[in-house]
Structure 1
């Protein structure tokens, strides 16, 4: 007799880091999700802030 599959076990979902593309586990213990590290998080923030600043400087 076969036992029922364990449906309580969660499969690890991985997503690519938006900055470098490295695989990141999407779980509560992943501190910088969706980024792989603080460095990648800051790189993305800098790009976002630079884009905002550039848009403000453009004449309409």
Structure 2
């Protein structure tokens, strides 16, 4: 968001729900629909916004 100079306030004005903004701020899961909205607003690809990390708390092997 910093590189796109987009604030949480701007996202709220673009229709992103306050509960979703809370989830984003606290690195909690979001839906693919929300990811689509964010990519549309920021004119970017999902890989520009997210990174996969192995869940260290649920390691099975």
Q: Name the TM-score, length of structure 1 as normaliser.
A: 0.25
Bigger radius of gyration among the two: 1
